[in-house]
Amino acid sequence: MLERMAKHVSKKKIVLGLFLLIIATVVALIFFVIVPGLSKPVSGTITTKTVRSDIVSIDLTPVPKVSKYISYDYPKGMTPQPQVVVASPYLQEDSYHAADTQTWVLGVTVSTPPGGVVSGDSGFKLRQSNPAVYTQSSETLNGQKVIIMTDTTQNFGKVAYIMHGGQLATISLYGSDNAGPAPLQSAFNQTLSSLHWQ
């Protein structure tokens, strides 16, 4: 019986010894490998976003445009896009682009809306039926009533509607600028205030 107890005790000693050896190894590993590594400098790559300083403001100098239906000024810094073949109800479609934070897009159209009224224009109807997106305002400019729809979901997005007889002129400008909305508002105002019917 003593002999069995001695074997049993020696098995316990062996298991205990192995357990203590494992613990000592883990402690040594933590103390000699992991802890010294925590005080060393870390190497890696840091990336930073650079601000482009080469973006030039869009030249707002007025350039006159005269057509069969209307005349107006557009900003010199915007490039006229190729003319498109127009189809009814459109009589004229002009488009200008410029690049800044994103592309500026200026559109000037003349059309004959159904019924000869602003509310006959499908784009106007769409904007008017979505007051959560578009706010409507009106003003008188050069003796003409102007309805302006402002897209509240864009950095800058406005469309002006001007009726003359049965014809409708629209001026739209969408875009974003490094200097904020002021340059876009100036370009929009310039084109709108210079519009005259032929």
CATH of the domain at 131: 3.40.1000.10
Residue 180 pLDDT > 70, yes or no?
yes
What pLDDT does residue 61 have? 97
Residue 114 pLDDT > 90, yes or no?
yes
Say what the pTM is: 0.71
Q: Are residues 164 and 86 in the same domain?
A: yes
Q: What is the SS3 assignment for 119?
A: helix
Reported as a pLDDT band with limits 50, 70 and 90, residue 108 is very high
What pLDDT does residue 117 have? 96
Residue 53 pLDDT > 70, yes or no?
no
Average pLDDT over residues 105-125: 96
Q: What is the SS3 assignment for 19?
A: helix
Segment (H or E) for 191: helix 182-194
Q: Are residues 39 and 67 in the same domain?
A: no
Q: Are residues 18 and 73 in the same domain?
A: no
What pLDDT does residue 51 have? 47
Share of the chain above pLDDT 90, in %: 63
Cβ contact 110:168 at 8 Å: yes
Average pLDDT of the chain, as a whole number? 85
Residue 136 domain-assigned (yes or no): yes
Q: Are residues 109 and 30 in the same domain?
A: no
Residue 35 domain-assigned (yes or no): yes
Range of the domain at 113: 62-197
Task: Using alpha carbons, select from 41, 73, 45 the residue that is nearest to residue 59.
Answer: 73
Q: Are residues 101 and 190 in the same domain?
A: yes
Segment (H or E) for 160: strand 156-164
Residue 131 pLDDT > 80, yes or no?
yes
What pLDDT does residue 103 have? 87
Q: Are residues 37 and 81 in the same domain?
A: no
Residue 185 domain-assigned (yes or no): yes
Residue 49 domain-assigned (yes or no): no
Least confident range of 28-32, 65-69, 119-123: 28-32
Residue 87 domain-assigned (yes or no): yes
Q: Are residues 115 and 175 in the same domain?
A: yes
Q: Are residues 177 and 82 in the same domain?
A: yes
Residue 100 domain-assigned (yes or no): yes
Share of the chain above pLDDT 70, in %: 74
